[in-house]
Structure 1
């Protein structure tokens, strides 16, 4: 790797919404809705950038941020149809919904702060090895 040429990756880290506007009436509802929308980006990469924009304001949501959330949701309205379809399959017994204990939810290693023991268990199951040189988050 020592002879490779580096290349910059352009990433826009600036917010497009700004901090202005009236605070939302129920910030907890905003955080809950936006948090749910974040999980949708795993299967709908076309909305990832817009969802990131509303996530930037989860600490202090304003009405313009909530308006963008509503626009994102209107682009993804067919999801409601999918939810009803799945609900009907569950109701008729064609699909079973099972509880998955957190120790088997491997996506958590990338999306949540985990207790050290659970993080170590996930890391080991993914065959990630510690580097021989010490690092800031040393294994």
Structure 2
């Protein structure tokens, strides 16, 4: 089954008056980070409309999810540079209108997750971003009556985080994440999750 929102993407492009815009090969500019400074957006209604439309489009376009999420970081006080980021996403969407989700029948009932330890990725809050949804997905799959036959495999490039999943001893340096570590250790002990190291270059 192929899921596509091509018609909706075209309507979104037209709403932004970008029917004949230049195309771009990527949805996000990897050279610059979005920050909370700059001029306020002149047309807030259009910005919010396009942002909401792009969020809806991510249901069948996971390739734009990260870029859309980054553009949503300052919805409470958007700046012109965020509007530029939205336009870049729309230029990318215009060049990839035929993309969508191809779903195949699968008999493998396993869940695999990857986590990249981006230290201080957000330039404003200095928070790290990583994958933390495996427990939720595990429970969702169980609620759909599709039991997992094996533990969820989590691959991470953070050796220290993997070590903490199996080491019940806490140190002063990990006190601030003690509750989270206990939750992860419990899921590993129950056999729901197994953590493995994968180098960053993969």
TM-score (norm 2): 0.31
Which has the larger share of strand? Answer: 2
More helix by share: 1
